[in-house]
Amino acid sequence: MDELNLNEYERVRRQKMEALRAKGIEPFGSAYKPTHHSAEILTQYHDNTKEELLEINQAVVIAGRIMTKREMGKAGFMHLLDRDGQIQVYLRKDALSELEFEVFQESDLGDIVGIEGTVFRTNHGELSVKAEKLTHLTKALRPLPDKFHGLADVEERYRRRYVDLIVNENARRVAMLRPRIIRALQHYFDGIGLIEVETPVLQPILGGAAARPFVTHHNTLDMDFYLRIATELPLKRLIVGGMEGVYEIGRLFRNEGMSPKHNPEFTTVEAYIAYSDMEGMMEVIENCIESVAMETLKTTTIPWLDKTIELKGPYRRVHMVDAVNEACGVNFFEINSLEEALAVAKKHHIEVLKHQHSFGHILNLFFEHYAEAKMIQPTFVYGHPIEISPLAKKNAKDERFTDRFELFIDGREYANAFSELNDPIDQRERFEAQMLEKDMGNDEANEMDVDFVEALEYGMPPTGGLGIGIDRLVMLLTNSETIREVILFPHMRNRD
């Protein structure tokens, strides 16, 4: 860094770095082996009295970042932050070497040190570690943000997540809970007998969802590939192959707008179970979300923004047409032609694009405009029209609809599932219809996947499939309003 660009604090810290070297201490030290983390100590000895701790005389080795520091002549206190949180350390000049106490006196907030000592309770009753040895590990050359204001610029919090994790306890809580939620998903799907698999991220054909893709080029093959927008089609090939129940937790990539609910790359779990159907998937999703909440939070009643959400099943189930009728009084069961649908859309000022000139697209536009936001408690909305469900089985009673549902909580979609289409002739026709939509300007339409149709021709058993958005589920379980809170490194615009 150019010395001219350093502020006064940064210059002083570099001078202290050189002072450490002059004392024979490497400012950026070597490996260190802690025996305990803060939470372990605070939990294990929470109930012990001051006298009991003196008798136990528990030796510990801890390491962490100095977050607070207070000197009192020949003694002092500091709080160290490790993976689990903060713990207080008490340092006395007569318990350390002269050099170690000097290092403590010259240390800055943000420096990383190791402490060997014993667990004790201060006169004020705080469980602490009494230092017997201090080891300097890393000099922080930049000061931490002010502890009362932190990173005031929210954008900077996400750009410099490493600082956010240091100064923001909630950021650490979310970061630690997210992997536990993913493990809980694995535990659930493993527990019902599914096999976890991996499928390619680079795919030659766009399919499995309605989304705009990222495109890349493979030099050796001289082929364009898409970063996958879904894992659906490869997973269903495995059902054809006889694996019967599979799931994948993986990253998906969609070249679309960004919002508090959308990031260009995100994580989902998709699962496919042979001999099941849409009804079976409702039961699986209810049980899954309830199981994950209980494993990670020990409750199914959770706070969400200004609401309380109950995740224990059974969830409400409503047909998309009935949901629209409840919301705005338009009954699409009574609409029998495209002309009628277009007329009612015009009456309600619903814009219909060229590729949306169909009964199903117009119904979906009404649902998104009027009904979606009204789904507060967990609700399964089923009966999606065939035009927006190219991979779902037609409903046996009304072929305008499919056996598909989405799970909505507080107006947000959390899961998508259906009775999988296993008729190869119908599937080819659906792909052909999607290609016509693409020609009319639908950038999100699926492409023709000839190999997948061929796979279905070998015979896929009746199958239920589901997808759950893990980022949104983590948002819900951690009460985080924006997706950027639950992704450690969200995509950001360049700084101006």
Residues 6+ apart with CB under 8 A from 107: 66, 69, 78, 113, 136
Q: Tell me, what's the pLDDT at 1?
A: 46
Q: Tell me, what's the pLDDT at 148?
A: 44
DSSP letters for 283-335: HHHHHHHHHHHHHHHS-SEEEETTEEEE--SPPEEEEHHHHHHHHHS--GGG-
Provide the CATH topology of domain 3-144. Answer: OB fold (Dihydrolipoamide Acetyltransferase, E2P) (2.40.50)
Q: Tell me, what's the pLDDT at 211?
A: 86
Compute the distance between CA of residue 80 and CA of residue 491 in angstroms, rounded to an integer: 31
Question: Can you read off the two tokens belonging to residue 361?
Answer: 């697209």
DSSP letters for 146-196: PTTT---SHHHHHHTHHHHHHH-HHHHHHHHHHHHHHHHHHHHHHHTT-EE
φ/ψ of residue 390, rounded to 5: -70, -10
- The predicted model scores a pTM of 0.91
Compute the distance between CA of residue 12 and CA of residue 10 in angstroms, rounded to an integer: 5
3-state secondary structure of 336: coil
Q: Tell me, what's the pLDDT at 109?
A: 96
Instruction: Name the percent of the chain in helix, strand, coil, to the closest 5.
Output: 40, 25, 35
Contact assessment for residue 184 and residue 291, using Cβ atoms and an 8 Å cutoff: yes
3-state secondary structure of 7: coil
Q: What region, left, alpha or beta, does residue 108 occupy, with left being phi > 0 and alpha being psi -120 to 50 degrees? A: beta
Compute the distance between CA of residue 103 and CA of residue 120 in angstroms, rounded to an integer: 23
CA nearest to 390, candidates 441, 436, 427: 427
What dotted CATH number matches 167-315+377-485? 3.30.930.10
CA 144 from chain centre, in angstroms, equals 27
CA nearest to 226, candidates 205, 200, 252, 196: 205
Task: Specify the DSSP class assigned to residue 228.
Answer: P
Q: Where are the chain's structural domains?
A: 3-144, 167-315+377-485
Compute the distance between CA of residue 306 and CA of residue 250 in angstroms, rounded to an integer: 31
Q: Which residue type is seen at 61?
A: V
Q: What region, left, alpha or beta, does residue 208 occupy, with left being phi > 0 and alpha being psi -120 to 50 degrees? A: left
CA nearest to 226, candidates 387, 392, 443: 443
Order of strands across the sheet that contains 265-274: 195-196, 245-253, 265-274, 463-469, 412-419, 404-409, 379-382, 316-319
Contact assessment for residue 111 and residue 140, using Cβ atoms and an 8 Å cutoff: yes
Q: Tell me, what's the pLDDT at 471?
A: 97
φ/ψ of residue 56, rounded to 5: -65, -45
Question: Which residues partner with 78 through β-bridges?
Answer: 69, 89
pLDDT in tens, the chain (496 residues): 455 578 899 999 999 999 999 999 999 999 999 999 999 999 999 999 999 999 999 999 999 999 999 999 999 999 999 999 999 999 999 999 999 999 999 999 999 999 999 999 999 999 999 999 999 999 999 999 875 455 567 788 888 999 999 999 999 999 999 999 999 999 999 999 999 999 999 999 888 888 899 999 999 999 999 999 999 999 999 999 999 999 999 999 999 888 888 899 999 999 999 999 999 999 999 999 999 999 999 999 999 999 999 999 999 999 999 999 999 999 999 999 999 999 999 999 999 998 899 999 999 999 999 999 999 999 999 999 999 988 889 999 999 999 999 999 999 999 999 999 999 999 999 889 888 988 888 877 788 899 999 999 999 999 999 999 999 999 999 999 999 999 999 988 887 6
Question: Which residues partner with 380 through β-bridges?
Answer: 317, 407
DSSP letters for 107-127: --TT-EEEEEEEEEE-TT--E
CA nearest to 40, candidates 154, 93, 119, 141: 119
